[in-house]
Structure formats: C-alpha cells, structure tokens
Amino acid sequence: MLTISVPATSANLGPGFDSIGLALDMQLTLQVLQPSDHWQIDHPFGDEVPTDERNLIIKTALTLAPDLKPQHLQVDSKIPLARGLGSSSTAIVAGLALANELSGQQRSLDELLVVATQLEGHPDNVAPAIFGGLVVSTAVEQQVHAVKLPLPSLFASVYVPNEELLTSVSREALPANLPFKQAIAGSSVANTLVAALATQNWEVALPLLEADQFHEQYRAKLVPALATIRKTAHQLGIVGTYLSGAGPTIVTLGDYGQLNELQQKLQTNSTLTGQYHLLPVDAAGLKVQKS
C-alpha cells in the first residue's frame, strides 16, 4: 500500500506576504487502496468535494502524468477547507506525489515544487508542504527558489473560525496599488523578519509578525477575530499573532505554556466559537511510505 502524508501550512507570517510559510503538524493522508476501472477517492469533506477525476488531488496527478491507471484512493484529513491552512496546497502536493510514485518517474522535490508553484500560483504554501519546517520562497522568471530556515523552537496556537473565507474574496479586499513609502516600509519589516527568523532571534521576530504593511489591515474587516485574539494575547504579554494565509484562521507563535494559557483565556470569549489547535511545527514535510 502506498501512503502519502502532507502537512498543513500557515503562510505569510504577517509581512512575509506570498513568500514565507510554516508547516504545521496537522496532516492530510492519502492512501492508494487498489487499482480500479475508474478513479474514486473517498474523503471526509462532504458532497461539495468531487470523488472522481474532478477532485483536486486526482486532477493534479493527471496533470503531471496523464496516462496513470485509475486507482481507488482514500483521504483522511483534519485540515479544514477554505480556512487559510493550505488545504488546496496539500491536495496539490499529494496529487503530485501520487503521480510521481505511480508513474515511476521519480522527480525530485525541487522539480515537484516548480510544478506545484505553477498550479498554486505562488510557492509560500506548497514549499513548506513539500520540505517541512519554515521556508522562504519566491518565483522569478519561471524559476522557483526556496530556502529552508532552521526549525523554529516554537508552537502554534491556531484558531479556526467556523465560517469559510475563500481566497478569491480575501484577495478582492486588497488594494490594486500601495503607496511607495508604505511598500518600502513593508519590505523593510519583511527583510528584518527573515533575518530574525534565520537567526532564531524571537525577541525581534515575534513582534515583527504583527507589523505587516501589505495585507492584514485590508483583510481585518473580514476577520474581526484577529484584533480580538491579538488584544487578548497582548494582555497576557504574548506577541506573535498573524492572519494565516488569506484567512480566516489566526495563528499565534510562541512558547507552549504561554499559548496554552492564551487558548484557555480565548475560550472564555463567547464571540470566538471556532476550533482551537495547539500544534508543533512539522519538520518533515511530504512523506511517502510503501508497505
């Protein structure tokens, strides 16, 4: 049996817009059960997600290897859809890994990253899903560059609202242009954040997660819980709260004990009716097992 596992991802980390991503230990697991006369994928996502070759995992696999023989597949995943935890990226990476194994072509992880970036549009989610850990990445002239930074000694407090927020809607909230001075300020913060992350200087890095100039202020009205959680964290002396991806999930990075205290406090707020997770960073990324 072939088993493929891909971690959830949290992108942007504040000012690292479309370029910084973190793999979290919440997995999508794909199993190849047996050959079939047609593509079938069993999953826990309900009737809105296709169970045939229209499914994103299968569609992605056939994009990479159109001649694959149909299989009966099974997916187990706790990663919520349309919540800013990289659900589409995990499906894309799982599909590429599936095609890679079934076709026997054995493309490298770097080659899979290029294809995943082409399909996803930018690499901030797919890169950590493939490589694990904390990854800074960009695509320039059809070349994808990804740098994996030292593994953070941090945990993630993850708050997942019950309501979906489609990436397309969240993107529409962004301005078409930024004033030059604001763009320079945002770039300066992002550059310093990367340096702090690379050197594991959390005293510098964690406050900078909250100093974004590119997207959070425009999306804040779509995710009112962001201000609530950040304010509550500050009251406890915790900094490092940001909007995960395009939202609406909100992540706070920090020490396990502090984050546990934060979640206990947040759960007393009747307006925060979503789900809570306290997750370590996933160091491995894409995993493939054969038995």
Q: Is 270 annotated as a binding residue?
A: no
At 198 the pLDDT is 97
Note the pLDDT tens digit of each residue in 126-181: 999 999 999 999 999 889 999 999 999 999 999 999 988 888 899 999 999 999 99
pLDDT at 194 over 90: yes
Fold assignment, 2-149+282-290: Ribosomal Protein S5; domain 2 (3.30.230)
Q: How confident is the model at residue 109 (pLDDT cuts 50, 70, 90)?
A: very high
Return residue ranges of the chain for CATH 3.30.70.890. 155-280
Q: How confident is the model at residue 85 (pLDDT cuts 50, 70, 90)?
A: very high
Q: Is 88 annotated as a binding residue?
A: yes
Q: Is 83 annotated as a binding residue?
A: yes
Q: Is 60 annotated as a binding residue?
A: no
Is residue 276 within 8 A of residue 159, CB to CB? The reply is yes
* Average pLDDT of span 3-31: 98
Q: What value, to the nearest 5°, has the Cα angle with vertex 130 and ends 186 and 195?
A: 30
Note the pLDDT tens digit of each residue in 229-276: 999 999 999 999 999 999 999 999 999 999 999 999 999 999 999 999
Helix axes 109-120, 87-103, angle to 10 degrees: 130
Q: How confident is the model at residue 91 (pLDDT cuts 50, 70, 90)?
A: very high
Across 164-175, b (16+ Cβ under 10 Å) vs e yields: ebeeeebeebee
At 291 the pLDDT is 82
CATH of domain 155-280: 3.30.70.890
Tell me which residue of 5, 6, 241, 281 sits closest to 149, measured CA to CA: 281
At 90 the pLDDT is 98
* Average pLDDT of span 61-73: 97
What tokens appear for 288 in the block?
């493939």
Beta strand 20-35 with 71-77 is: antiparallel
Q: Is 123 annotated as a binding residue?
A: no
pTM: 0.96
pLDDT at 58 over 90: yes
Q: Is 85 annotated as a binding residue?
A: yes
At 12 the pLDDT is 97
Q: Is 86 annotated as a binding residue?
A: yes
Q: Is 132 annotated as a binding residue?
A: no
Return residue ranges of the chain for CATH 3.30.230.10. 2-149+282-290
The proportion of the chain whose per-residue pLDDT surpasses 70, expressed as a percent, equals 100
Q: Is 89 annotated as a binding residue?
A: yes
